[in-house]
């Protein structure tokens, strides 16, 4: 349907009674082959990230075998149900070069921006999810969606720039309300009722845009950059209002989630974190399936993970430094307990996307999810061999079920590869020793 014509029609109708338009039958989600949407457009490919804290114990985490059918050492045994959906990357390094090591900050910043942070408290620049969202996230209600299982709004891994953070949704109830509250348009609803206020809001927004232009004339260079970003955000808001006036495409995978009525109380007890993660994952899965966003981030832990275990006095981070290595087993038992819980949650996250049918496959098949930690061996704040995963086949462009070893090469190779897969035209990614223009070919179809 011609959007302009439709809007013109709607504008005329808004002055009168409520509008309702009949929709196609719900069995017309897909084309005849089941591999594209009914209107002929391809299934969208989505990009997601998932972060856990404090790395792993190499001896019981890293498989002996590389390639397909790799073994699952005890710390990642919980990944068995999703092994065929994931790739594991080990022996890749991150390089701080001359920058100081900022313990639990440096590693994830490099893996998400390609650059080592240079000063304490310096936030990262544009993170990979934002870079990708600029390419694939412009047609949905949310350009990116971030959530954290920690319950703490400060735990973000998504930055537009050093001074612009995408704060995560930290309350499952609020996340539900923001996703499926009053502004949600069910793509599979029997009738489409455009929000009559959307048009008048657009009109008012144009006045705010004019105000912004006037304010920008008074701004210095640094502030102008901030106001430019604000102006772009207003434009995004305008696009979102347009979406409210346009009948959404029916989506087979989309099911409205039931109301979230309760959530765990504050705190980082592993059980509470897992409960929060479970609800957030369900909401995020449906946000993606309902095409509310095509770029998403989920944090299992904050930087310097402080997850706790009931009855054990040391939080995860403290345990990494203080718990003795068991002389018989050769690793820190409690620290590994925390890592195992993280891996269980990662498996659950992957399974949630794999469990949603979309087209002739699953939602996960049309996703590319990137998981990483902040550190490798937390006891000594090691940046070498930070483990990473991917999940999903990116619409058929990625192989899965592989264990790839990097032999000390830059971990940014994975970020670079993913961005190429997602259609970004970039000759290289990263700075200094983290610079790469070399894809990880083994995972490409």
Partner 1 sequence: MKSVSRSAQLFRTAASTACLLLSAVLASCSGSESVAGSQGAELAAVPAGIEASSPAQRRLITEQQYLNTVANIFGQDIEVIAQFAPMQRTEGLLALGASKAGVPSGELQKFQRAARQVAAQIVDNGNLELRLASHRDALFPCKPAAVDKPDAVCAEMFLRATGRLLYRRPLSEARLSQMVGEAGQSAAQLGDFYAGIATVIEGMLISPEVLFIEDRVEPDPEHAGRLRLDAYSYASRLSFFLWNAAPDDKVLKAAESGELNTAKGRARVVDMMIASPRLEGGVRGFFDDMLGFDSFANLAKDPTAYPSETGATLADAREQTLRTIYDHLVTKKLDYRDLFTTRTTFMSPALGAIYRVPTTPGWTEYQFPANSPRMGLLTQVSFLAQHAHPARSSPTRRGKALRELLLCQPVPLPPPNVDFSALENPTAAHRTQRDRVNFHLQNPVCAGCHKITDPIGLALENFDGAGIYRRTEKGVDIDASGALDGKGFTDIEGLALAVRNHPSLPGCLVRRVYSYGTGTAVDARDKPLVDFLTAEFGRHGYRFPDLMRAIVLSPVFYDVTPPAPAAQKSAAAAN
* Residues 204-263 interacting with partner 1 (rule: CB under 8 A): 204-205, 207-208, 211-212, 215, 218-220, 222-223, 225-227, 229-230, 232-234, 236-237, 240
- Scan for tokens 């983290």, then name that residue: 434
Q: Which residues sit opposite 269 in a β-bridge?
A: 308
Give residues 351-380 in contact with partner 1 (rule: CB under 8 A): 379-380
How would you classify the pairing of strands 402-405 and 388-391? Answer: unpaired
For the CB of residue 134, give the shortest distance to partner 1 in the complex, in Å. Answer: 10
Q: Which residues sit opposite 89 in a β-bridge?
A: 388, 404
Token code pair at residue 320 = 């990494």
**Residue-by-residue DSSP string for 15-53:** TSS---EE---GGGSB-TTSSBBTTSPBPPPEEEEEE-S
Q: Which residues sit opposite 371 in a β-bridge?
A: 50, 389
CA distance 135 to 137: 6
Q: Quick check: 192 binds partner 1 (CB under 8 A)?
A: no
Q: Quick check: 184 binds partner 1 (CB under 8 A)?
A: no
Q: Which is nearer to partner 1, 265 or 407 (CB)?
A: 265
How would you classify the pairing of strands 367-372 and 21-22? Answer: unpaired
Size of the site for partner 1 (CB under 8 A): 86
Q: Quick check: 142 binds partner 1 (CB under 8 A)?
A: yes
Q: Quick check: 153 binds partner 1 (CB under 8 A)?
A: yes
For the CB of residue 243, give the shortest distance to partner 1 in the complex, in Å. Answer: 12
For the CB of residue 435, give the shortest distance to partner 1 in the complex, in Å. Answer: 22
For the CB of residue 398, give the shortest distance to partner 1 in the complex, in Å. Answer: 27
For the CB of residue 212, give the shortest distance to partner 1 in the complex, in Å. Answer: 5
Token code pair at residue 118 = 């240079």
Dihedral over alpha carbons 258, 264, 267, 269 (to 10 degrees)? -100
Give residues 10-49 in contact with partner 1 (rule: CB under 8 A): 14-15
Give residues 288-347 in contact with partner 1 (rule: CB under 8 A): 306, 308, 310-315, 318, 321-325
Stretch that binds partner 1, among 19-27, 171-179, 365-373, 424-432 (CB under 8 A): 171-179
Q: Which is nearer to partner 1, 38 or 205 (CB)?
A: 205
Integer angstrom CA distances of residue 432 from 24, 382, 406, 410: 54, 19, 18, 11
Q: Considering only CA atoms, which of 60, 83, 59 is closest in space to residue 70? A: 83
For the CB of residue 27, give the shortest distance to partner 1 in the complex, in Å. Answer: 34
* H or E, element range at 239: helix 221-244
Q: Which is nearer to partner 1, 63 or 267 (CB)?
A: 267
Stretch that binds partner 1, among 35-43, 158-166, 251-259, 355-363 (CB under 8 A): 158-166
Q: Considering only CA atoms, which of 373, 443, 436 is closest in space to residue 410? A: 436
For the CB of residue 247, give the shortest distance to partner 1 in the complex, in Å. Answer: 20
Q: Which of 73, 267, 361, 401 binds partner 1 (CB under 8 A)?
A: 267
Q: Which is nearer to partner 1, 66 or 318 (CB)?
A: 318
């Amino acid at each position: 349907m011609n959007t302009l014509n439709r809007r013109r029609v709607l504008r005329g109708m808004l002055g009168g009674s409520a509008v309702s338009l009949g929709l196609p039958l719900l069995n017309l989600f897909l084309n005849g082959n089941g591999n594209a949407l009914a209107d002929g457009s391809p299934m969208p490919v989505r990009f997601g990230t998932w972060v856990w804290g404090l790395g792993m114990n190499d001896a019981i985490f890293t498989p002996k075998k590389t390639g397909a059918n790799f073994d699952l050492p005890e710390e990642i045994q919980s990944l068995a149900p999703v092994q065929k959906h994931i790739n594991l990357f080990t022996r890749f390094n991150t390089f701080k070069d001359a920058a100081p090591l900022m313990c639990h900050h440096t590693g994830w910043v490099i893996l998400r921006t390609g650059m080592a942070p240079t000063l304490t408290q310096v936030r990262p620049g544009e993170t990979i999810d934002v870079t990708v969202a600029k390419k694939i996230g412009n047609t949905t209600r949310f350009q990116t969606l971030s959530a954290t299982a920690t319950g703490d709004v400060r735990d973000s891994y998504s930055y537009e720039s050093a001074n612009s953070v995408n704060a995560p949704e930290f309350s499952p109830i609020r996340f539900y309300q923001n996703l499926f509250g009053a502004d949600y348009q069910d793509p599979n609803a029997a009738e489409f009722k455009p929000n009559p206020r959307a048009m008048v809001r657009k009109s008012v927004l144009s006045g705010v845009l004019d105000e912004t232009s006037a304010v920008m004339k008074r701004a210095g260079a640094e502030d102008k950059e901030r106001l430019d970003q604000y102006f772009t955000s207003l434009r995004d808001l305008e696009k979102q209002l347009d979406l409210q006036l346009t009948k959404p495409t029916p989506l087979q995978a989309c099911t409205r989630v039931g109301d979230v009525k309760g959530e765990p109380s504050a705190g980082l007890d592993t059980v509470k974190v897992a409960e929060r993660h479970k609800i957030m994952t369900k909401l995020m899965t449906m946000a993606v399936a309902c095409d509310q966003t095509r770029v998403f981030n989920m944090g299992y832990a904050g930087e310097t993970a402080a997850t706790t275990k009931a009855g054990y006095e040391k939080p995860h981070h403290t345990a990494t430094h203080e718990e003795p290595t068991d002389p018989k087993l050769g690793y820190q038992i409690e620290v590994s307990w925390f890592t195992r819980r993280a891996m269980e949650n990662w498996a659950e996250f992957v399974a949630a996307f794999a469990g949603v049918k979309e087209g002739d496959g699953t939602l996960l098949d049309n996703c590319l999810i990137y998981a990483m930690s902040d550190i490798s061996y937390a006891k000594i704040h090691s940046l070498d061999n930070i483990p990473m995963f991917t999940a999903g086949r990116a619409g058929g462009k990625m192989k899965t079920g592989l264990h790839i070893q990097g032999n000390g090469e830059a971990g940014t190779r994975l970020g670079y590869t993913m961005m190429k897969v997602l259609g970004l035209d970039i000759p290289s990614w990263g700075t200094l020793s983290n610079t790469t223009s070399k894809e990880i070919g083994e995972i490409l179809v």
